[in-house]
Amino acid sequence: QAKIQNGGHQFFNERIINTFLRKLDVENELRWAIAKNQLTLYYQPQVSASTGHLEGMEALIRWNHPRLGSVSPGEFIPIAEETGIIMDIGKWVLKEVCAQLNSWLSASLAVPAIAVNLSARQFLVPDLASSIGDIVRQTCCDPQHIVIEITESSSMNDIESVLPILHELKSIGFQIAIDDFGKGYSALGYMKQFPIDILKIDKSFVQELTSDSKSAVITKAIIDMSHGMNLRVIAEGVETQEQLKYLQAMNCDIVQGYFIDRPMPSEQLELRYLKGVWS
Ligand code: C2E
Ligand code: CA
Ligand code: CA
Ligand code: CA
């Protein structure tokens, strides 16, 4: 009896220690990821629900490490936020997106706006808007071509400090999207205060659309409300034909998800989706 208890205890400790060591390892390696050129951006298409035409794309970070292999953003982004490394990563992402936009535009390709994810932590820096404005100016990129995605739950609890930053971003010319809408707690109150262009319905709703009538009712209500406020709606996590049909019937504007396409390298997106403006 005592032996089993002891064994269980040891196993428990070992798990905690391994989790801790992995986190430390990821954190230490992450500090070098930019300098060592280990980060890349993938792009996931966002298409019109009615016509299937490309309406936008979301830049999603990928980290390939020689020893750790491919580490998911779900693992390293929270660590980057905790340690502050997200500041440098955020700047890198934006520069990279601007460079990509410039390269596509100079090749006369018809390219829609690119969405970039911003962490709540980045909003804690008072000069956020001017620092990303500077990056975009330095790269001669048109801010109209960039959508800033912010997550609902993370940044909304501090409306007084977030609101002026959002207005500043808007006045520079960026579009603003609310990410993961409906996930966690939802405060509808800020919807009328925030200068938002796009609302992204969280994939948990989309995934329950066909099996749970309540999810369907909520999704329809979110779409109608958004249209009433002149917002475009993107449904994320669309994985099946059936989900797409539901969303079409609900007048959802734009869809994004594995059923349409996975996130992919820029070259692949260019080949599959971008046409020259003269062709
Ligand atoms: P997110 O912003 O909600 O991004 C959508 C996630 O859903 C992506 O995961 C995408 O690959 C995945 N996805 C797309 N279609 C489907 C689908 O049909 N089904 C399912 N199950 N998933 C789908 P990913 O690329 O692993 O990114 C995870 C999260 O990491 C993102 O969630 C975002 O919060 C964060 N992230 C990614 N790139 C960046 C970045 O550059 N900066 C910051 N701050 N965060 C980022
Ligand atoms: Ca996002
Ligand atoms: Ca999302
Ligand atoms: Ca998210």
| Model pLDDT for residues 20-71, shown as the tens digit of each residue | 999 999 999 999 999 999 999 999 999 999 999 999 999 999 999 999 999 9
Whether ligand 1 lies within 6 angstroms of the CB of 41 is answered as no
pLDDT digits (tens, 9 = 90+) for 212-257: 999 999 999 999 999 999 999 999 999 999 999 999 999 999 999 9
What is the value of pTM for the model shown? 0.94
Q: 10 Å Cβ neighbour count for 226? A: 22
First to last CA, the chain: 77
Q: For a pocket test of ligand 1, which of 60, 95, 121, 205 has the largest count of ligand atoms closer than 8 A to its C-beta?
A: 60
Distance 150 CA to ligand 3 centre (A): 9
Tell whether ligand 1 has an atom less than 6 A from the beta carbon of residue 55. Answer: no
Share of the chain above pLDDT 70, in %: 91
- What confidence score (pLDDT) does residue 121 get? 81
Q: Which helix (H) or strand (E) holds 44?
A: strand 39-48
Q: Which atom of ligand 1 is nearest to the CA of 200?
A: 3
Residue 185 has pLDDT above 70, yes or no: no
Give the ligand 1 atom nearest the CA of 86: 44
Going by C-alpha positions, the residue among 50, 225, 154, 37 that lies closest to residue 217 is: 225
Nearest to 117 by CA among 54, 66, 180: 180
Interhelix angle for 213-228 vs 241-249, to 10°?
A: 50
Structure tokens at 266: 């820029």
Ion ligand 4: residues, CB < 5 A? 180
With vertex at residue 187, the alpha carbon angle to CA 186 and CA 190, rounded to the nearest 5 degrees, is 140
Residue ranges in 139-190 assigned as alpha helix (H): 152-156, 159-172
173 C-alpha to ligand 4 centroid (Å): 23
Q: Are 249 and 216 in contact (CB under 8 A)?
A: no
Which residue is closest in CA terms to ligand 1's atom 35? 73
